[in-house]
Structure 1
C-alpha cells in the first residue's frame, strides 16, 4: 500500500527539523531489539514473539544520517519516500505505525510492506520512527531513521526599496543569479513607510548605533512605477513572487502589484473586489484568473504571495501567509519582458501600460521554485534576526499636551486622527472617558484583521465607576470592527467584588474585581480572548498589549512586559470598520463604554515576537 502524508506545520515530537542527527542506525537497532525483549517479557496475551524492529528504505535524493555522515539533500517541497518491510525474523506483519518529528501524532499504514511519501515543508533535521504491527495488533520495537532536508533555492530577486536615491537594488541571495535592479519612474518615490518599520538591530541581532527607519516604494496611481530592464523569472518553470502592499485607494480601478511583461500579473481587480493572480499562459490561451476569497482592504498592510507549481500544473494565491485560492494552469508561456512594480501591460497591447498602483509596495521577492505553505507563512511573518519580527507603526496617539476635540497622530507617518465625542475630553495628560458616552474614533481599519498586528495602550481604570458594575459587564478599551460582525480589541470585564482592608482608615471596603482581555468579541456576545492572570488594578496606570500572530492563528495578552497565560488559538477576520477607543460598535450603536484615562495608544502592522521586543519597541 502507498500512502502520501499531508504536509503540516512542524511540531517537535522526537526532534525538530534543524536539530542534531541521532546515533548510528545499528546502535538504534540494537536498542530496539532490547526494547522488544522487554516488551515480550511484560506482555499479557501477546504473541510469544512481538515484532522486531522493521526495515526502512529511504529513496533518493535523501539518505539516512550516520554518526559521521549526515548529508543534506532535496529541499522543502521535495518528497521523501519511505518503504517499510518486516524484520527478517517476522512472518505475520500486517501493518505499521509511524511518526515523523514534523507530525503531532502517530499514523498507520496497512500491508506486509508499505510505502509512505512525505513532503517536507522546511529545511532541517527530520526523524522517522516506525513500529511493525502483527496480527494480534501489538506494535513491536521501533526503528528510527534520521535524514536532513537541504534548504531550497534562495530568492533570485529581492527589493527592499530602502535606498536614499537611485535604482532599487536587487539583494537576492541565490548563488549565481543575475542581479536585476529596478528603476523608479514617474510618480514613484521612496517614503518612510517601509514595512520593516523602525529597526534597532542588524540581521544577526546586534544593536544598531541608532534606530533606522525603513523606507518603501510609494506610487501615485497614475504614472509611478518601478521596473527591471529584463525578465527576472522563467515563467515556464515553477516560481513564487511575493510583496507587501498598502493601497491608498481601491474602488473601481484595477491596481497591478507585480507583473512580468507578457506573463503573470498579481493585482487587485475591481470587478472581483479582491486580489487576483493571472499566471503566464501560452499565446492565444484565455487567462485563468485565481481569485482570493476575502475582499481586499484599503489603507492597511497586506502580504500577497503568488505561486506557479509546474509539476502540479497549478497556480496558488496566498493572502497574509494563508492559502486563498488555487487554479489549474495546464501549460504556461514564456514571459520574457521586464518585471513591473505597480503597473501592467494592457490586455492585447505590447506597449501600453495600465492599472497603476496607488499606495505602497515593499519587500518584493522572487523565487524560481514553488515555496511551501510553511515558507510562505514565514515570509508573511517577516522575522528580521531570529528574535524580532518586523513591525511597522501605523498609529501613535499620545495625549501628553493635547487639548481640544481631536487627537492627532504626528509620529507614525500615517496621519490617523481620533475624533472625540460624548463625554470624552483631553486634559493635557490623558484622554478622559466618562464611561457613559465618551468615545474617540478614527477612520479605519488601521490593520488587516487577517494579518498579524500589535496594539498597546496605557490605561487607568476608574475604580469608583466600575465598583457598581454587575458581574459580566464589559468596558471596551480599544476596538476595531470586523467584516463578520465581531470586534477585535482590548477590554475590561467585571467578575465580582472583593472585601479588603483600607490601609488609610483601617476599615473594610468593597473593591471591584475584573479581568483584562484581548481577543474577539462576537456579535452575539460570545468571545474568544486571552485573559489577565491577576485581577485588573484600578486607579493606577497599566500597560496593556495585545498581539495577534496571523500565521500561527494565536493571540497573546501582555500586562506590562509579562505575557499572561499561553497563546490562544483564534480565527482571523478581515477588519472593515472604524477604530474606536472607549467603546465598541454593535451595528451602528456604540456600546460597552469604559470609565478610564488613557495616556497613549499605539498600533503596529506585524506581531511582536517576545516580551523583549515589546520592551525595546514600547520602551516603558
Structure 2
C-alpha cells in the first residue's frame, strides 16, 4: 500500500462469525477493506502477476465514493518498459466512467494502439458495493465484462501483448504518467491465470465464506430507539447515512409512528447496488384500525428503494379483504383487515412481481420481515420471522436511484402507498444471506 492507502473496517465480507469450514469463531472478526483517496493512494505487487498475452481473469469488489465524477481504474498491470510503444500504457483496465455514463468497462490496448472495450449495459451508482470482473480468453481472442456475476458484454480484443510489470490496484498508467486514481473502497481482489467460465464468476459474486454462510456487509442500520428529533442516525454500520422523518412521522422512543396518510422517512439512496445481491430486514407493525379505513386492494410499502418510475424493490403489505370477528375485550363483533406481505416490485399498473407470504399478516404486533435478492441466481426470497415463505421466485432487477424510503412507495412520479403502523428498525446488507439460520444469527431479536 502506498500514498495514504489504508485498511479500514469496511470489508465486503462483513462480520465473520464462522471460519471457512463453518465452525463458529471464538471471537467474531470484522473484515477489512482497502480505502483509497483518489489522488495519491494505491496498492501494487512487487512483481509481475499476469501474462497479459495469455488467458486471465481479474475481479474485485468496489465501492466508488459518492460525488466523484471522473474515470477511475481499479485493476491493471503496469508494463516494465514502453514496448511495443514509445511510452508505458496499460495493457488492460477494469475501470469506472464516473461522469461519463457511470458505467464499468473492461478494456484492452492492442499492440497496434487501438482500444477495445466491453462496457456494462447499465449505469452503476456510486456509494454501493459492486462485484466487477474482466476476462481475456486467448482461444477466442475476446474480452468480457461481468457485473455482480452477470455477463454484460464480450468484444474482440485485437492482438494483445505482454506487460511484465506489477499489478496495480486503484490506478492506471497512460503515456508514462499514473492516472485515474480510484476514490472509494476495494476488497477481495482476485486474479486467475485462466479465463473463468460464467458459473465460476457467478460463484465469486456470491462470496460464500463457507458452505453455509455468505459474506454480507452491513451498509445501513436505522433503529428508532437511537433517533432524536426528526432524524435517525446510523452510527453502527460505518457508512453513516442519516434517515429523516417526513410528513407527520414521529418517534415514540421505540418506533417510527406512521399514520398511513403522509408519514414516512427517507435516506439518501441507493443504499445497495440493486442489481447485485442484498438482504434487507425490517421490524414492522400494522395499525389495524387505520387499515380498516382503507379500500380493499390498498398497498403500502414498509421499506424500499426508489427508481425512476417507482420502487426498484420493496417489502410491501397488500390489503386483500375485511373480516368480522368477535372482540375478546368487548364481546362485540368488529371488522379487522386481512392482507399479506410481499417482497419484490409493484409496477405502475398495481401488479406485483413479488413473493407473497403464506399466511395472512398479523396486525398490531411487531413482525420481522426479511427480503433477499440473489443476483447470480436472479431470484428473490421472503422470510417472515426466520421462516422462508414460499419458494424463491425469478426476479428482474431494476437499478435504484433517489431516496431509500420507509413507510411509503413511489408510483410514476408520485409518492403514495403510505403505511399505517410502526417501524422499529431497518437494516440492509450488501450480499444475500444463505438461509434462515444465518438470518437468525446475524439479525437477532
Q: Which is strand-richer, 1 or 2?
A: 2
Distance in 1 (CA, whole Å) between partners of 2:56 and 2:401 is 32
1:385 matched to 2:200? The reply is: no
Change (3 A) 1:611 1:310: same
Q: How does 1:187-226 map to 2 (within 5 A)?
A: 187-226=4-43
C-alpha displacement of 1:197: 0.3
Q: How does 1:234-249 map to 2 (within 5 A)?
A: 234-249=51-66
Deviations 1:184-237, CA, capped at 9 Å, x for gaps: 111211111000000100010010112111100000111110011221111111
C-alpha displacement of 1:456: 0.3
Change (3 A) 1:543 1:609: same
- Counterpart in the other structure of 2:193: 368
Distance in 2 (CA, whole Å) between partners of 1:571 and 1:326 is 21
- Counterpart in the other structure of 2:305: 480
Q: How does 1:275-286 map to 2 (within 5 A)?
A: 275-282=104-111, 284-286=112-114
Equivalent residues, number: 433
Distance in 2 (CA, whole Å) between partners of 1:386 and 1:244 is 20
1:536 matched to 2:361? The reply is: yes
- 568, 571, 575: which one aligns with 2:400: 575
Name the SS for the 2:369 alignment partner. strand
Q: TM-score, normalised by structure 2?
A: 0.95
Distance in 2 (CA, whole Å) between partners of 1:258 and 1:578 is 31
Note if contact 1:302-1:319 (Cα within 8 Å) is conserved in structure 2: yes
Please list every run of 5 or more consecutive structure 2 residues that lacks an aligned counterpart in the other structure: 80-90
C-alpha displacement of 1:585: 1.9
C-alpha displacement of 1:379: 0.2
Change (3 A) 1:515 1:588: same
C-alpha displacement of 1:273: 2.7
- Counterpart in the other structure of 1:231: 48
Change (3 A) 1:401 1:414: closer
Note if contact 1:391-1:608 (Cα within 8 Å) is conserved in structure 2: yes
RMSD after superposition: 1.3
Change (3 A) 1:204 1:483: farther
C-alpha displacement of 1:587: 4.4
Please list every run of 5 or more consecutive structure 1 residues that lacks an aligned counterpart in the other structure: 1-183
1:274 matched to 2:91? The reply is: no
Note if contact 2:287-2:363 (Cα within 8 Å) is conserved in structure 1: yes
Name the SS for the 2:321 alignment partner. strand
Q: How does 1:492-503 map to 2 (within 5 A)?
A: 492-503=317-328
Deviations 1:523-543, CA, capped at 9 Å, x for gaps: 332220111111111101100
1:294 matched to 2:119? The reply is: no
- Counterpart in the other structure of 2:345: 520
Q: How does 1:83-482 map to 2 (within 5 A)?
A: 184-249=1-66, 251-262=68-79, 263-270=91-98, 271-282=100-111, 284-346=112-174, 349-350=175-176, 352-482=177-307
C-alpha displacement of 1:486: 4.2
- Counterpart in the other structure of 2:83: none
